[in-house]
Amino acid sequence: MKIVNIIKNSMIDFPRRIACVSFTLGCNYNCWYCQNATLLNRKDDLTSELFAFLEKRKGLIDGVVICGGEPTIHNDLPDFMQKIKSMGFDTKLDTNGTNPEMMKYLINNSLVDYIAMDLKAPPIKLDSVVKCNAKIAEIEKSIDLLMQNRVEYEFRTTVVPELTENDIKLLASRIAGAEKYFLQIYRKPDFLKNAPEPHSYETMKKYLEIAKNYVKSCELR
Ligand code: SF4
């Protein structure tokens, strides 16, 4: 696997930790609004630079976020996370949930401290949002895995314009009882002319109130 971008210090990407954020190359989805689209085909590999930076930051930052792209498409992700853990850092995985077996392996081997999983859309709309075969059976397994509560986790949905009140209800009811669910405000991608407008703040607040009926904690961000 290749690291194609690094944010060296973040206070917002890993709950309760100062973290470095690393972006892996490539994704098995093709979401039309992807803000990381320009990273997905980069060729330069910053893995050595990342580990050199982490070596210097031991004791100064708490954790490393591994996001993408989609990190779990890479078979050597567990080795990568093991190396980070062995340096004393906590790890957070950001994933679209398409590889429950990899997630289970990371949990079983204590290689991950926090997982943030995207719920892109309810099953009936998922393929059209991610612009490919979304692997719905795998997504369902990943939801069930996280809800076993064996690792700290959150679910999150970027509320793209095509998601309706009923879609939010379907998503939130699927994860009823979950610890944390975030509704993320969609930003129009710069690279897309004529991108649709986001929902109004009032609509987002309405969606928030719907989701709160199902999960233990739900916030906008
Ligand atoms: S899953 Fe994430 S990284 Fe992959 S295309 Fe969708 S938004 Fe982009």
Rounded mean pLDDT of 174-180?
97
Domain extent at residue 127: 3-220
Mind listing the pLDDT tens digit for each residue in 114-129? 999 999 999 999 999 9
Would you state the pLDDT for residue 40?
Answer: 67
CA 164–ligand 1 middle distance (angstroms): 20
- Give the CATH number, domain containing residue 163: 3.20.20.70
Distance from the Cα of residue 60 to its chain's centroid: 24
Residue nearest to atom 2 of ligand 1 (CA): 69
Would you state the pLDDT for residue 35?
Answer: 86
CA 27–ligand 1 middle distance (angstroms): 6
User: Which atom from ligand 1 is nearest to the alpha carbon of 158?
Assistant: 7
Q: Classify 61 in phi/psi space as left (phi over 0), alpha (psi -120 to 50) or beta.
A: beta
Cβ neighbours for 198, distance < 8 A, ≥ 6 positions apart: 159, 161, 185, 186, 187, 188
Mind listing the pLDDT tens digit for each residue in 35-64? 887 776 787 899 999 999 999 999 999 999
Ligand 1 neighbours, Cβ below 6 Å, are 27, 29-31, 34, 36, 68-70, 96
Task: Assess whether pLDDT exceeds 80 at residue 66.
Answer: yes
User: Which atom from ligand 1 is nearest to the alpha carbon of 96?
Assistant: 1
Q: Classify 149 in phi/psi space as left (phi over 0), alpha (psi -120 to 50) or beta.
A: left
Please, are residues 61 and 9 in contact by the beta-carbon 8 Å criterion?
Answer: yes
Tokens of 18: 């100062």
Rounded mean pLDDT of 151-180?
98
Rounded to the nearest integer, the mean pLDDT of the chain is 96
Alpha-carbon gap, residue 15 to 57, rounded angstroms: 18
Mind listing the pLDDT tens digit for each residue in 67-97? 989 999 999 999 999 999 999 999 999 999 9
Using DSSP's 3-state secondary structure scheme, residue 205 falls into: helix
| 134 phi, psi to nearest 5 deg | -85, -5
> Considering its fold, how many domains does the chain have in total?
1
Rounded mean pLDDT of 184-193?
91
